Amino acid sequence: MKKNKALVVEGGAMRGIFASGVLDAFMEDDFHPYDLAIGVSAGASNLLGYLANQPKRSYRVITQLATDKRFFNPSRFLRGGNLLDVKWLVEESMRLYPLDQHRLFGKTALIAATTNIETGQADYYHVNEDNVSHVIEATSALPVAYKETPCFSGGCYTDGGVADSIPVREAYRRGARDITVILSHPLSYQMKPAKHPWLIQKLFARQPQIAGAMLKRSDNYNASLDFIRNPPQDATIRVIAPPENFSVKRLTMRKPTLDEGYQMGLKAGMLHIHRRRDLNGSHEEDCHFCL
């Protein structure tokens, strides 16, 4: 029986530079084996460039646009505005680096995770020509840092990572049994519980479901990691993760650091392809949790 293949890409704001390198390595080798792709936040944005087969698009979005003060502006935030202007970033990236929509919406279905502010649960949108800008804004709408609340299709949303940072279980639920996950943290990472629950409840007093989702986020995140490490017997899960010395943080703006993270992604992507092609003597059919 054919195993449907899925690619899952975690977000992480500027940490997405690692995934952009991995996906550029995939494109360089014309490696497009997936039936389904699911992304969150920066992961969804990275998938746009990959599925449209536009190398370096995501790299440029991160290193040229996401470092621009029109996107990241602490002084604007102190005056009551956005720390991160997600709408500007989405619109500017579409203007400067227009997508090959025929290729983008071809054989691989693209899903993006958002967090519904009314329920605190993840809503998964099939990205298409009509909703792509809305969905990418919604999945990337970091709470507090982005003060707007994207609303479309009858709902209002915040960053997909609040409810489902690594939607590997959703890929499985949709029938994928051969799943590749690109993480934005090294394999040793475990998310710690929120340090100040009272502050989260205060910040989101008008959105109690989001407060609840934020407080449960570490549990959900670590449950996804556990699913990856201990997959069902009928599933193969392959992981591409940054090395332990990956130094890019959520809001790293220093280009040399970003370039180093990108090169790590390129190297990891090429190594993954080599392993998939059995160049190192691995045997895919016997592999459940593969690096």
- Using the structure block, give the residue that is written with the tokens 């505005």: 81
Domain regions of the chain by residue span:
5-281
**CATH topology for the 5-281 domain:** Cytosolic phospholipase A2 catalytic domain (3.40.1090)
Sort 234 into a burial class: Cβ within 10 Å, 0-12 / 13-18 / 19+: exposed
Residue 13 to residues 20, 79, 84, 108, 185, Cα–Cα distance (Å): 12, 22, 10, 24, 12
Helix, strand, or coil here: 146? Answer: coil
Hey, which residues are catalytic here? 41, 159
- pTM reported for the whole predicted model: 0.93
pLDDT in tens, the chain (291 residues): 356 999 999 999 999 999 999 999 999 999 999 999 999 999 999 999 999 999 999 999 999 999 999 999 999 999 999 999 999 999 999 999 999 999 999 889 999 999 999 999 999 999 999 999 999 999 999 999 999 999 999 899 999 999 999 999 999 999 999 999 999 999 999 999 988 899 999 989 889 999 999 999 999 999 999 999 999 999 999 999 999 999 999 999 999 999 999 999 999 999 999 988 875 444 444 455 556
Q: What is the DSSP letter of 63?
A: I
CA pair distance 27, 33, nearest whole angstrom: 11
Residue 17 has which token pair?
A: 């530079």
CA separation for the pair 66, 227 (Å, rounded): 32
